Chain A
Amino acid sequence: MAFLLNCPNCGARNVYDFRFGGEVLTRPAPDAGNEELTEYLYFKENMDGEQREWWNHSMGCRKWFIATRNTHSNEVLGTHWPDEPVTGTGQ
């Protein structure tokens, strides 16, 4: 694991400068049942392929952003702020 990650604020940085926040998931409603909550908390997709995931530039601007990464090839297809629409591949 030595890839570069493009922080939308700071630019390309070594992945060691970042903290991984896991898959982007939809939080269940506050009154969700135990089963739905358990599914959300413990049963991750852990997919083989393109995945949207949270990253925090912990050694830099400390901002959270979302990266689309191919978990198979480890290629980062793009990064963007959480409130920006997914622009697909490319930066």
Chain B
Amino acid sequence: MSRPNKRLSAAPQELVDRSRPIHFEFEGRKIEAYEGDTVSSALSAAGVEIHSRSFKYHRPRGLLCVAGRCPNCLMTVDGTPNVRACTASVRDGMQVITQNAWPSTERDFVSVLDRLDRFLPVGFYYKALHKPKFLWELARPIVRRVAGLGSIDVDSDGGPTSNHTNRHTDVAVIGGGPAGMLAASAAADSGADVTLIDDQTLPGGHLLTDIREYFDVPDGLGLSTTTGHEIAAELRERVLGHQRISVLSSSSAFGMYQDNLLAIQTGRDSLNLRATHVVMATGAFEVPHQFHNNDLPGVMLASGALRLARLWGISPGKTAIVTTNDDSGYWAALNLSDAGIVVSAILDSRVVPDSDLLTLVRTAGIEVLAGQTINSAQGTKRVKSIATTSANGETRNIECDLICMSGAWQGASGLLLQSSSAGVDHDGIVRSGVPENVTIAGGVGGVHDLGALLSQAGLAGKRAAAKVGFGVPDDLPAIEAELSVFKSPTTSSAESSASPITQTKKTFVCFCEDVSTKDIAVAVEEGFGDVQTLKRYTTSTMGPCQGKMCHKAFVEVAALNLGLSVKDAGATTSRPPAQPVALGTLAGQNHMPRKRSPLHYVHEQLGAEIVELGPWLRPHNYGSPQDEVLAVRERVGIIDVSTLGKLDIRGPDAGKLLDRVYTHRFSNLREGHIRYGLLCSEAGSIMDDGTVTRMADDHYFVTTTTGNVDAIEDWFNWWMAGTGMDVYVTNVTAAWGAINVAGPRARETLAKLTDVDLSPKAFDYMRSATGEVAGVPSIFLRIGFVGETGWEVHFPAEYAEHLWNTVMEAGSEYGISPFGLEAQRILRLEKGHIIVNQDTDAVTDPLDAGMRWAVRFDKPDFIGRAGIAATRDRESKQSLVGFIADDGFVPEDGLSIVTNGQPVGRVTSSRFSPTRGVGFGLAWVPIEMAEDGTRIFIQSGRNEWPATVITEPIYDPEGSRLRA
């Protein structure tokens, strides 16, 4: 089978390497391509003209912009939907399929919708399928299947995760056209570090396809060539070879935020680039003209046709018509003609075109039809002819298979408008109000003439460098004075619409969403009187191109129908993303922090079941929590408590600080003594608890709950800030490891390893000491969270494994057992010790929690005093009490306490006690139920389980074991 090959003869500026053929699959068909081809260029070479089917009517669509801006070439590439085929480089073996068509884009049966357009009015969803009500339920599955673009492979693992990086740059230049490249090199020459961001594979912008000779290029720029694409190559070498310029090709800046934070998509990855100064050189682009059937394949932007011909050597058509309203159309026609495409005529809406150019194109054999405009294009799957009207009303048909739309430039200012309120008209050209940390260069500021553009861009680069302190900052006023000469044209381009606007149902303003000029007219008739509401109602400018192809035409058509000038009609709002971004790129990697105790690998070796507790990984149990509880109660247990928050507080005002933040008093704590500490918020709610040990006159050692220490550190520092207190708070959580050795044989176990006298007389409960354990300098805290004789031993984290193993060995003769979180929870619950945030919530105050003993109202002030005092002065309504359930029932944490079926309280912690053989726990109950022996009822499912309130711990209420 012979395949059409539309390749032109090789041109010097083309991007394909014809000596390196590669192959890929398109709809199961093998396509030949060359290295350097894009999917679209290769498909065009193979004769594929329909690249997609339109969103609503399933009309055939061909290449339009060929620059990654319009929606006409969205395809599914290797399973990724909505890839712009015109910027996707081909790879050997890649799989490409089309979207939004059944069975294929060539023959799409859904295109019947194109003939049913009267059933698909503007605002379809607001009007149709609502009455009768059941209709929507029936229609929904069908609408859902037909609507939308592309489909996601739900079985896919999403591919590799994208990376997020953060970078800084002195100057970011956005846009790799001549203005961007020159501005970048000028800024870098002045000494600034520059990042150049270009969304194309090769920097050069419109000059890449330009074969025109420029004789007016300013001398001072050091350019040795005069032909457009050669100038591009020269500038490109300059930026790529510059040691202070980092060039990001195929990267689009999709978001711009305060203080010049740029969100950039580069491949699958995203880069957050903070620029001290931004040069906006995003350029200006041709947009479609408004005539009937302006979306037929074969209707292209002139720049798109030139890109296809010049960059990939593909003939976009045989006989072309160029339609324009300015000189750029003439240059496009000459360029196409030079590439071997027959240009039969230029339709110039102006009556008197430039005379020099006229001679030039006529010499090339191109007819100029002055004062003529295009009304419609004819054809089914490809343009066959056009109908034109002259100034005096004569109509004419001209045969052609390619329409190149030129002129009608729209500035690419969407990105700038995200972060500033620059003065931009509907044509996107920036005319005023540019922020101080941004400089405009080139087409986006309305400067199109290459000589002027290069001069302006050079100055823009120097200004950017001077603004960040490079070059000669004193020159800034002079540079800015020179720059101010390059004023963008103030004439709004309404009068220069490339063709009068045709209002038909198939004159498309918005190619993304299939919104026609007629749709906008109907919406205005229906009462939408403003571009912002018209935008939302018609969804024009809201598709994948985000207004890049349509904003100008949309406002012009709206203004026409509203009877306003385009200036008064205004512009819609730009928001991120300026270019579509994959959600996976935004999501990036999962950066959930994980903290491991210095004993983590010991626990793994012991076969512990590890659970997540905040950022920490902790052993939940080592086999049987019940056995672990009994080991602690009957013999000796060891638990890793390295995750406890640890703060080292030093300085003459250390006691003063602690008195201020804690409810208790610590300035009078004696050296070597420990006191329980309760932290409250300013409202008087419990925030955290822990122990405070006085190590020396000006030195305290504080522990906090696991996971809370960073917040507590901030809290301490906050209440010190600006007070002039002479005290340092150091977070030593990671520096110190800790174990708790507890049980009747704990003393004997530890005594084997230390010289510190642990005898009851020498080492009382709530006392501390320092000394070595197994040769490791340690702090001993005799406290009893689990309710047995025991010591919390803190030591430098590096020695953790040694210490643990040595203690285990020493305790082996007494039957030592490691115990995990679950055993610790049971043990502390048997003692009625609370866990903050488990047994308390955001509004629990210490008095209701039965901890009046920890609150010193005799202190003149402490954080939370006023709040707690307010509770003291009113009746308590609820109380935290213990309970024992009947019949061995063990309620789940969080179950309700009910009276007559109504919830009156809740269980906060509940377990089975292996020591007592009962189900028990802690619960909040109304104050009148908070007495020993009160019967309460716990609701579980439909059942109510009786339980009895207890006000003392179920284990060792006198604390004799603890103090033994």
Contacts and interface: CB of A to CB of B under 8 A. Distances in A.
B254 interface: no
A49 interface: no
Interface string A47-91: 000000010101000111100000000100000011100000000
Contacts of B869: 31
B860 A58 contact: no
A30 B274 CA distance: 46
Nearest to B724: A83
Contacts of A21: 718
Contact of A62 (B258, B261, B717): B717
Contact of A2 (B257, B717, B860): B257
B724 A19 contact: no
A1 B258 contact: yes
A56 B717 contact: yes
Given A30-B866, A41-B683, A64 B721 contact: yes
B714 A37 contact: no
B860 to A, nearest CB: 6
A34 interface: yes
Interface string B606-622: 00000000000000000
Contacts of A64: 714, 717-718, 721
B870 A81 contact: no
Nearest to A14: B274
B259 to A, nearest CB: 5
A42 B517 CA distance: 53
Nearest to A63: B717
A17 B418 CA distance: 23
A41 B723 CA distance: 21
B717 A30 contact: no
Contacts of B634: none
A4 B259 contact: yes
Contacts of B261: 2, 14
B861 A30 contact: yes
Contacts of B371: none
Interface in B661-719: 682-683, 710, 713-714, 717-718
Interface string A20-50: 0100000110111010010011000000000
A6 to B, nearest CB: 11
Contacts of A4: 259, 274
Given A19-B714, A62-B713, A2 B722 contact: no
A64 B713 CA distance: 11
B867 interface: yes
Contact of B259 (A3, A27, A54, A63): A3
A37 B713 contact: no
A87 to B, nearest CB: 15
Contacts of A41: 682-683, 867
A1 B721 CA distance: 26
A28 B866 contact: yes
Interface in B847-873: 860-862, 865-867, 869-870
B866 A82 contact: no
A39 to B, nearest CB: 12
Contacts of A2: 257-259, 261
Interface residues of B, number: 25
Contacts of A37: 683, 866-867, 870
A2 B869 CA distance: 41
A20 B149 CA distance: 41
Contacts of B257: 1-2
A19 B714 CA distance: 10
Given A41-B682, A83-B722, A83-B724, A31 B717 contact: no
Contact of B718 (A3, A28, A54): A54
Contacts of A3: 258-259
B439 to A, nearest CB: 19
A83 B721 CA distance: 8
Contacts of A30: 860-862, 865-866
A82 B720 CA distance: 10
B867 A58 contact: no
Contacts of A82: 721-722
A62 B867 CA distance: 28
Nearest to B710: A58
Nearest to A34: B870
Contacts of B713: 62
Contacts of A74: 258
A78 to B, nearest CB: 15
A75 B721 CA distance: 24
Nearest to A54: B718
Contacts of B259: 2-4
Nearest to A40: B682
A21 B866 CA distance: 21
Contacts of B865: 30
Contacts of A14: 166, 261, 274
A83 B724 CA distance: 8
B456 to A, nearest CB: 29
A48 B683 CA distance: 26
A64 B717 CA distance: 7
Contacts of A31: 866, 869
B866 A32 contact: yes
A31 B861 CA distance: 9
B479 to A, nearest CB: 25
A1 B419 CA distance: 11
Nearest to B262: A2
Contacts of A81: 721-722
A82 B866 CA distance: 24
B395 to A, nearest CB: 55
Given A2-B257, A4-B259, A30-B861, A62 B866 contact: no
Contacts of B710: 58
A81 B861 CA distance: 24
B673 to A, nearest CB: 26
Interface in B229-274: 257-259, 261, 274
17 contacts: A2-B258, A3-B259, A4-B259, A14-B166, A14-B261, A19-B714, A30-B861, A30-B862, A31-B869, A40-B682, A41-B683, A58-B714, A63-B717, A64-B714, A64-B717, A83-B721, A83-B722
Given A14-B274, A37-B683, 4 more contacts: A1-B258, A2-B258, A3-B258, A30-B861
Interface of A: 1-4, 14, 19, 21, 27-28, 30-32, 34, 37, 40-41, 54, 56, 58, 62-65, 74, 81-83
Interface of B: 166, 257-259, 261, 274, 682-683, 710, 713-714, 717-718, 721-724, 860-862, 865-867, 869-870
Which 4 A/B pairs are nearest by Cβ-Cβ distance? Answer: A82-B722, A2-B257, A30-B861, A2-B261
